[in-house]
Amino acid sequence: MSHHISLTRYLVERQREDGLIPGNLRLLLEVVARACKSISHAVNKGALGGVLGTADTENVQGEVQKKLDIIANEVLIEANEWGGHLAGMASEEMDTILSVPNRYPAGEYLLLFDPLDGSSNIDVNVSIGTIFSVLKKPEGGAEVGEQDFLQPGRQQVAAGYCIYGPQTTLVLTVGKGVAMFTLDREQGSFVLVQEHVQIPPDTQEFAINMSNMRHWDAPVKRYIDECLAGKEGPRGKNFNMRWIASMVADVHRILTRGGVFMYPWDKREPHKPGKLRLMYEANPMGWLVEQAGGAATNGRERILDIAPTELHQRVSVILGSKNEVERVTGYHLNA
Ligand code: AHG
Ligand code: MN
Ligand code: MN
């Protein structure tokens, strides 16, 4: 890296050169980055900060919340509610949307987040993250409502995640490629480390929770069986496997060196379309992956084209290296 470009400078230059980032969107992204910095500090303190373990409460999806799920959610709300850039927020950890309190001015953006992704990895010191998605509030209607959030992912105006791993890195798209910024703890700022991130179209690495194999649908089973058959099988090459159980960490690896990630529908809970959440996980990650030259589908259609009907909607996810995603999707369509 020849010269240091801070996140602020990067955003100002995108605003000036590409006209992609209006002032209020820049403010929003800076506030989200600041909140992530604060979550990163809490994560780093671990047991010393009393942030590990469960909170003994349940979220709307019936999952037991960890202390950090709640802390991260509060940090994001407190950072974002007063700036005047938002009309409302929605979170994996809140039952309903939160409109900006009346005592603050309301803005035109909507912020959606998975405050802490990879909750099962918090206490074991494995990479976790925060995922966010930004939409514009549709015109008209003074009060913001849940309906305003139900927009397909292709309408996002910004999306990203912050991974809390060996480094804390913020990964962002505003619709013109993907850029990565690593937190410089001495400076206290995010510094650009990579621009124009590209996912190679081919890969020999897949990520899926193999313990669910017996519950999968035939197309997913076929794809993985063919990978496992290796050089002697129909694919004629060996595959490697990784499963971190933090979507942020698996997606970060894919943005860095390629790969395919799948959390498909399975027979354990057949009435649910999948485990992951469309609005807080699949849409922002799907857009990042597409912006890096990859693809993201639910096995049948592009994730970003799905018209949401519910805030906490779940979805089957296949994303990553383009040729592999197209292959798995093809197996579904021709099944
Ligand atoms: P969250 O911690 O926000 O609930 O998300 C966890 C998700 C995702 O990050 C990961 O890919 C997946 O759940 C792991 O699920 P399994 O434990 O079923 O493998
Ligand atoms: Mn998650
Ligand atoms: Mn979460």
Name the DSSP class of 302.
Answer: B
Mean pLDDT confidence for 62-66: 91
Q: What's the rounded mean pLDDT across residues 6-27?
A: 92
The topology under which CATH files domain 205-333 is: D-Maltodextrin-Binding Protein; domain 2 (3.40.190)
**In the predicted structure, residue 298 carries a pLDDT above the cut 80:** yes
Residue 31 CA, ligand 3 centroid: distance in Å: 20
Ligand nearest to the CA of 76: 3
Query: Which atom of ligand 1 is least distant from the CA of 261?
Result: 11
Indicate if the pLDDT at residue 180 is higher than 90.
yes
Q: Supply the pLDDT for residue 117.
A: 98
For residue 247, how far is its CA from the centre of ligand 2 (angstroms)?
6
For residue 58, pLDDT over 70 is answered with: yes
**Integer Cα distance of 116 and 130 in angstroms:** 5
pLDDT at 285: 99
What pLDDT sits at residue 250? Answer: 98
Extended strands (E) in the chain: 54-58, 64-66, 86-91, 98-99, 109-117, 128-136, 158-164, 168-173, 178-184, 189-194, 205-207, 240-241, 260-263, 276-277, 295-297, 314-315, 317-320
Residue 120 alpha carbon to ligand 1 centre in Å: 7
Q: What is the pTM of this model?
A: 0.97
pLDDT tens, position by position, 78-90:
999 999 999 999 9
**Is the pLDDT reported for residue 20 higher than 70?**
yes
Show the tokens assigned to 42. Answer: 């809490």
Percent of the chain with pLDDT over 90: 93
Cα of 238 from ligand 3 centre, angstroms: 33
Ligand 1 atom closest to Cα of residue 61 = 4
Q: 120 is written with which tokens?
A: 């099962």
Average pLDDT over residues 167-190: 97
The domain made up of 2-194 is a member of CATH 3.40.640.10: no
Q: Report how far ligand 1's centroid is from the alpha carbon of 118 (Å).
A: 5
Atom 12 in ligand 1: residue holding the nearest Cα: 245
Residue with more model confidence, 141 or 297: 297
* pLDDT higher than threshold 60 for residue 14: yes
Residue nearest to atom 15 of ligand 1 (CA): 245
Spatial strand order in the sheet of 260-263? 240-241, 205-207, 260-263, 317-320, 295-297
> Tell me: the pLDDT tens digits for 122-163?
999 999 999 999 999 998 777 899 999 999 999 999 999 999
Residue 331 has pLDDT above 80, yes or no: yes
From the CA of 280, the nearest ligand is: 2
pLDDT in the model for residue 19:
86
Answer yes or no: is pLDDT of 18 > 90: no
Segment 293-303 shows an average pLDDT of 98
Q: Give the mean pLDDT of the chain.
A: 96
* pLDDT band at residue 221 under the 50/70/90 scheme: very high
The ligand minimizing its distance to the Cα of 122 is: 1
Confidence (pLDDT) at 335: 83
> Residue 81 has which token pair?
């509610």
Q: Do the domains 2-194 and 205-333 sit in the same CATH topology, yes or no?
A: no
Pocket of ligand 1 (CB under 6 A): 92, 114, 117-120, 209, 245-247, 263, 275
The letter for the amino acid at 215 is H
Q: Which residue has the tokens 């996140």?
A: 7
Give the number of the atom of ligand 1 that is nearest the alpha carbon of residue 250: 11
For the CA of 118, the nearest atom of ligand 1 = 2
Residue ranges covered by each domain of the chain = 2-194, 205-333
**Å from CA of 69 to ligand 2 middle:** 10
Provide the sign of the torsion angle of the four alpha carbons 195, 280, 75, 53, taken in this order: negative
Confidence of residue 61 (pLDDT cuts 50, 70, 90): confident
Q: What does the pLDDT average to over 174-184?
A: 97
Q: How confident is the model at residue 3 (pLDDT cuts 50, 70, 90)?
A: confident
Q: What is the pLDDT of residue 244?
A: 98
Q: What pLDDT score was predicted for residue 114?
A: 98
